[in-house]
Each structure stands twice: as structure tokens, then as C-alpha cells.
Homo-oligomer: A and B are copies of this chain.
Amino acid sequence: MDAVLAEFVDEQERSALGPETEPLFATLRRLLFSPGKRLRPLLCVAGWQAAGAPGDVPTILRVAAALELFQTFALIHDDVMDDSDSRRGQPSAHRTLSAAYVTAGGPRGRAEAHGRGAAVLLGDLLLVWSDEMLAGAGLEDRARGRVLPLVDNMRAELVYGQYLDLLSTGRITGDVGAALRVARYKTAKYTVERPLHLGVAVADGGPQLMQLCSDFAIPVGEAFQLRDDLLGLFGDPARTGKPVGDDIREGKATVPMALAFRAAPRAERRLLKAFFGSPDLTAEDIDQVRTILETTGARHRVETMIASRRDAALAILQAADLPKDVAETLRQLVWMATERNA
């Protein structure tokens, strides 16, 4: 996967218009090749294997690589939208590009706007590349006819999911259903279901296998997001790569927050409202929120939700008639998604 991506980026840089674009390439290489889970490519290949792994390997690898390029686009624009400082334990793309701008002698007064604008462009570039990578994957006509509509859906779903996320940001409510809906679009469908479907579509896997992937993906994906939400509050920043409590600072309407808000007594509610979406909360402030998540039982509730979804997904794997190695990969994925600490 890394080799396919590296070769593609090198080729793009050779045809770029000049040395001025160096900061774009330096930034995207750091992000694209930083230790990540490569979760979507892995699922795409698993879907392809589940359907018998027909055709040649370079093709499915390029389809999977297109997903990783698309995901990198999504991360970059997401960090711009949330104005996040860091990603995978490193400065986010817009921060990196703004620093590079100042280093190159750009006026400090413009540095933030420049970084934001350059990151929007870098995201655009990666979105265009993911499409170029897919078009060059060597899919034959019928396969392309199966794959492209899925990709179109996936891309639109991500944008709509991000928009729902944006709409709910900064407004704390006890609406657990709404928070779960965002998780379903942003993570369950985009991160798990669609990558599996793509692999199945490449291999012409048919409707039954598609349905199985959906039945498996939705609980795993929701559990993945719920674990992510808890890690953002109780995880070790050294492992997660992001500071504790950023979701609160950014005012993200997550399931844990909705549960806590719904269950909290008036005084704690007022506190959650006050802290929610205020960028400069201290470690002590975050600790208070964590205490509320404990005392209201919200944290425990989320753990229960994760466990039930994990068990549902495992039961589906159990009942499914999948190649041994694929079933094992997906089983490991369920545990990684639900029990990870990073």
C-alpha cells in the first residue's frame, strides 16, 4: 500500500508546476505516511477476498489506495473545519503549512489565513488524486460500472455526514439519537461499510454478501466511533495523538456528551453547557467534565453500547460463511475497533 501511494505521489510531484509546491508535498507526505491504521484499504481488500479475490492484485491495491487518498483529503478538510492543532500526534496540515509560510518569509499576519487556504487546496488536490488513482486502477468496464456509483455514494455521504456534524457542533443536547446518526454517517458507513462494499463490488460479490457487509459494518462502525469518543475523553494523548478533551473544546455533539447532559443534575448541566465549545478549557475543566461523565454513568453506558455492538458484529461473523482468513481479519478488526487504546 505504501509503495503504491509513494510511487503515485512521486509521479504527481514530477508533473507539478515547480519548486513552489514543495510545502504541499512535504505536508501531505508526512500525513499520508505517518503511522495510521490504513483501516479503509484493509477493509476494501477484505471485501474483495470475501468475494473470492478474483482478478489481479495491483487493481484492488489501487482501489484501496484511492480510499486512503480520499481519507487523507477528508482529514485535512476536517481539521481545517474544526481548527484542530494536531493529527496523528503531529501538527495538522493547516498548522504545518502556516508554519512553512512564515519560515519562507511570509508575513505573520497572514500566516493563519494562508495555512487554512493552503490546506483547503491540499485537500482538494488529494480528492482529485483519489479519483485519478481509481480511474487508473485498471478496472474493466463492468467492474467500473459497479464501483463508481458506490464511490459516488460514499463521497456524498461523507460530505453530508460532515455537514450534520457541523450543524450539531457547539450545541449540547441530550439527543443521543442525533449523535448516533452522525456517527453512523461519518464513521459506520464511510469508514467500514463502504470500503467493504467497494472490495465486494470489484470482485462482483453480489447482493447477499453486500447485505452481510452492511449488517456487520454498522455495529462495528458505531462502536468504533463510540470508542473514539471515549478515547478523546479518557485516552492517553501519547497514544491517541490528540489532546484530551478536544471534542469538548470543539463542541462536538458526541454520544457520551449527550448521555451525560441528559442524565446530569442541574448544576452539572450548567457546567457542561458552559464548557461545551469553549476552546481554552484547562486540564482541570476537562477533569470536571470527565467526573460528570463518570457520576452520571454516561461513560459506563457508552461502554455497554460498545460491547453490545461488538457482540452483534461477532455474532454476524460467526454465522457468516466467509473464507477463514477474511473472517479472522474482520474478527481482529472488531476487537481493534472496540478495545483499542489509540
Chain B minimum-CB-distance residue to A70: B128
Task: Tell me whether A124 and B17 are in contact in the complex, defined as CB-CB below 8 angstroms, given that A163-B24, A166-B114, A277-B110 are known contacts.
Answer: no
Binary interface profile of A, 109-130, with partner B (CB < 8 Å = 1, else 0)?
1100110111011011101100
Q: Counting CB contacts under 8 A, is A20 at the interface?
A: yes
Query: Least Cβ distance of A177 to chain B in Å?
Result: 13
Chain B minimum-CB-distance residue to A80: B120
Query: Least Cβ distance of A273 to chain B in Å?
Result: 11
Binds B, one of A154-162, A198-206, A224-232, A294-302: A154-162
Q: Counting CB contacts under 8 A, is A77 at the interface?
A: yes
Q: Counting CB contacts under 8 A, is A15 at the interface?
A: yes
Cα distance, A101 to B169, chains bound together (Å): 12
- Majority DSSP secondary structure for residues of A touching B: helix
Question: A20–B167 contact, CB under 8 A?
Answer: yes
Q: Counting CB contacts under 8 A, is A21 at the interface?
A: yes
- Please indicate the chain B residues that have their CB under 8 angstroms from the CB of A12 in the complex: 156
Q: Which of A107, A156, A171 gathers most chain B CB within 10 Å?
A: A156
Query: Least Cβ distance of A218 to chain B in Å?
Result: 15
Q: Counting CB contacts under 8 A, is A241 at the interface?
A: no
Cα distance, A160 to B25, chains bound together (Å): 11
Interface size of A by CB at 8 A reads 54
- Please indicate the chain B residues that have their CB under 8 angstroms from the CB of A135 in the complex: 148, 152
Q: Counting CB contacts under 8 A, is A170 at the interface?
A: yes
Copies of this chain in the oligomer:
2
Query: Least Cβ distance of A49 to chain B in Å?
Result: 26
Interface residues of A in 221-254 (CB under 8 A from B): 251
Question: A125–B156 contact, CB under 8 A?
Answer: yes
- Please indicate the chain B residues that have their CB under 8 angstroms from the CB of A101 in the complex: 167
Interface residues of A in 127-166 (CB under 8 A from B): 127-128, 131-132, 135, 141, 148, 152-153, 155-157, 159-164, 166
Q: Would you list 30 pairs from A and B whose C-beta atoms are within 8 A, ordered by A residue?
A: A15-B156, A17-B157, A17-B164, A17-B185, A20-B164, A20-B167, A24-B163, A77-B124, A81-B113, A81-B120, A82-B117, A101-B167, A106-B170, A107-B170, A107-B171, A110-B170, A110-B277, A114-B166, A118-B163, A118-B166, A120-B120, A121-B159, A121-B162, A121-B163, A125-B159, A127-B127, A127-B128, A131-B131, A135-B148, A141-B141
Listed in ascending order, the chain A residues whose CB lies under 8 Å from chain B are 12, 15-17, 20-21, 24, 73, 77, 80-83, 101, 106-107, 109-110, 113-114, 116-118, 120-121, 123-125, 127-128, 131-132, 135, 141, 148, 152-153, 155-157, 159-164, 166-167, 169-171, 185, 251, 277
